[in-house]
Amino acid sequence: MENNFFTQRIFSFKFALNGIRHLLNNETNFRIHLLASFIVLALAWITDISQTEWLLIIVCIGSVFGAEAFNSAIECICDFVCKEKNKNIKIIKDISAAAVLIISAMAAIIGIIIFCEKS
Protein backbone atom coordinates (compact mmCIF):
# COMPACT_ATOMS: atom_id res chain seq x y z
CA MET A 1 0.00 0.00 0.00
CA GLU A 2 2.71 2.51 0.99
CA ASN A 3 4.85 1.68 -2.04
CA ASN A 4 1.83 2.17 -4.32
CA PHE A 5 1.11 5.56 -2.72
CA PHE A 6 4.63 6.84 -3.38
CA THR A 7 4.65 5.40 -6.89
CA GLN A 8 1.42 7.24 -7.67
CA ARG A 9 2.80 10.51 -6.25
CA ILE A 10 5.93 10.21 -8.38
CA PHE A 11 3.83 9.33 -11.45
CA SER A 12 1.64 12.40 -10.87
CA PHE A 13 4.64 14.61 -11.71
CA LYS A 14 4.14 13.48 -15.32
CA PHE A 15 0.91 15.50 -15.46
CA ALA A 16 2.57 18.60 -14.04
CA LEU A 17 5.44 18.29 -16.51
CA ASN A 18 2.92 17.95 -19.35
CA GLY A 19 1.32 21.19 -18.13
CA ILE A 20 4.68 22.97 -18.12
CA ARG A 21 5.39 21.62 -21.61
CA HIS A 22 2.02 22.95 -22.78
CA LEU A 23 2.72 26.38 -21.27
CA LEU A 24 6.15 26.54 -22.93
CA ASN A 25 4.82 25.46 -26.33
CA ASN A 26 1.57 27.43 -26.41
CA GLU A 27 1.68 30.43 -24.09
CA THR A 28 3.77 33.36 -25.31
CA ASN A 29 3.45 35.21 -22.00
CA PHE A 30 4.89 32.20 -20.16
CA ARG A 31 7.95 32.30 -22.43
CA ILE A 32 8.29 36.06 -21.88
CA HIS A 33 8.18 35.52 -18.11
CA LEU A 34 10.79 32.77 -18.49
CA LEU A 35 13.13 35.10 -20.38
CA ALA A 36 12.60 37.83 -17.78
CA SER A 37 13.35 35.30 -15.03
CA PHE A 38 16.65 34.32 -16.64
CA ILE A 39 17.62 38.00 -16.88
CA VAL A 40 16.69 38.61 -13.23
CA LEU A 41 18.58 35.50 -12.08
CA ALA A 42 21.67 36.54 -14.04
CA LEU A 43 21.47 40.06 -12.61
CA ALA A 44 21.05 38.61 -9.11
CA TRP A 45 24.11 36.44 -9.62
CA ILE A 46 26.18 39.34 -10.94
CA THR A 47 25.18 41.76 -8.17
CA ASP A 48 25.74 39.20 -5.40
CA ILE A 49 22.42 39.74 -3.63
CA SER A 50 21.82 38.55 -0.07
CA GLN A 51 20.16 35.30 0.90
CA THR A 52 16.96 37.14 1.83
CA GLU A 53 16.95 38.92 -1.52
CA TRP A 54 17.40 35.56 -3.29
CA LEU A 55 14.40 34.22 -1.40
CA LEU A 56 12.30 37.20 -2.44
CA ILE A 57 13.36 36.80 -6.08
CA ILE A 58 12.51 33.08 -6.03
CA VAL A 59 9.10 33.71 -4.44
CA CYS A 60 8.36 36.42 -7.01
CA ILE A 61 9.37 34.23 -9.96
CA GLY A 62 7.34 31.31 -8.64
CA SER A 63 4.33 33.55 -8.03
CA VAL A 64 4.41 34.94 -11.56
CA PHE A 65 4.69 31.47 -13.11
CA GLY A 66 1.93 30.14 -10.87
CA ALA A 67 -0.36 33.05 -11.74
CA GLU A 68 0.35 32.58 -15.45
CA ALA A 69 -0.46 28.86 -15.16
CA PHE A 70 -3.74 29.57 -13.37
CA ASN A 71 -4.60 32.25 -15.92
CA SER A 72 -3.94 29.85 -18.80
CA ALA A 73 -6.00 27.12 -17.13
CA ILE A 74 -8.91 29.51 -16.58
CA GLU A 75 -8.75 30.68 -20.20
CA CYS A 76 -8.70 27.07 -21.45
CA ILE A 77 -11.66 26.01 -19.36
CA CYS A 78 -13.61 29.14 -20.37
CA ASP A 79 -12.95 28.41 -24.05
CA PHE A 80 -14.03 24.80 -23.52
CA VAL A 81 -17.25 25.72 -21.71
CA CYS A 82 -18.30 28.55 -24.00
CA LYS A 83 -17.00 28.75 -27.55
CA GLU A 84 -18.96 31.87 -28.57
CA LYS A 85 -18.37 35.38 -27.25
CA ASN A 86 -19.87 35.82 -23.81
CA LYS A 87 -19.76 38.89 -21.56
CA ASN A 88 -19.37 36.83 -18.37
CA ILE A 89 -16.56 34.69 -19.83
CA LYS A 90 -14.77 37.87 -20.90
CA ILE A 91 -15.01 39.24 -17.34
CA ILE A 92 -13.63 35.96 -15.93
CA LYS A 93 -10.72 36.01 -18.39
CA ASP A 94 -10.03 39.69 -17.71
CA ILE A 95 -9.94 39.14 -13.96
CA SER A 96 -7.55 36.18 -14.27
CA ALA A 97 -5.31 38.26 -16.56
CA ALA A 98 -5.45 41.06 -13.98
CA ALA A 99 -4.14 38.63 -11.36
CA VAL A 100 -1.06 37.97 -13.51
CA LEU A 101 -0.57 41.70 -14.03
CA ILE A 102 -0.84 42.44 -10.29
CA ILE A 103 1.64 39.72 -9.34
CA SER A 104 4.01 40.67 -12.16
CA ALA A 105 3.91 44.32 -11.07
CA MET A 106 4.63 43.28 -7.47
CA ALA A 107 7.59 41.19 -8.65
CA ALA A 108 8.90 44.06 -10.78
CA ILE A 109 8.66 46.50 -7.87
CA ILE A 110 10.50 44.10 -5.58
CA GLY A 111 13.16 43.61 -8.26
CA ILE A 112 13.56 47.37 -8.71
CA ILE A 113 13.96 47.84 -4.96
CA ILE A 114 16.54 45.06 -4.72
CA PHE A 115 18.58 46.03 -7.77
CA CYS A 116 18.44 49.82 -7.35
CA GLU A 117 20.01 49.33 -3.94
CA LYS A 118 22.93 47.54 -5.63
CA SER A 119 23.73 50.31 -8.12
Any idea where the domains of the chain sit in the sequence? 28-118
Check whether 1 has a pLDDT greater than 70. no
Q: What is the DSSP string of 98-117?
A: HHHHHHHHHHHHHHHHHHHH
20-52, pLDDT tens digit by residue? 999 999 999 999 999 999 999 999 999 999 999
Mean pLDDT of the chain: 94
Contact 47, 92 (CB under 8 A): no
CA distance 7 to 12: 9
28-118: CATH, from 1.10.287.3610, 3.10.20.600, 3.40.140.10, 3.40.50.2300: 1.10.287.3610
Evaluate if pTM is beyond 0.85.
yes
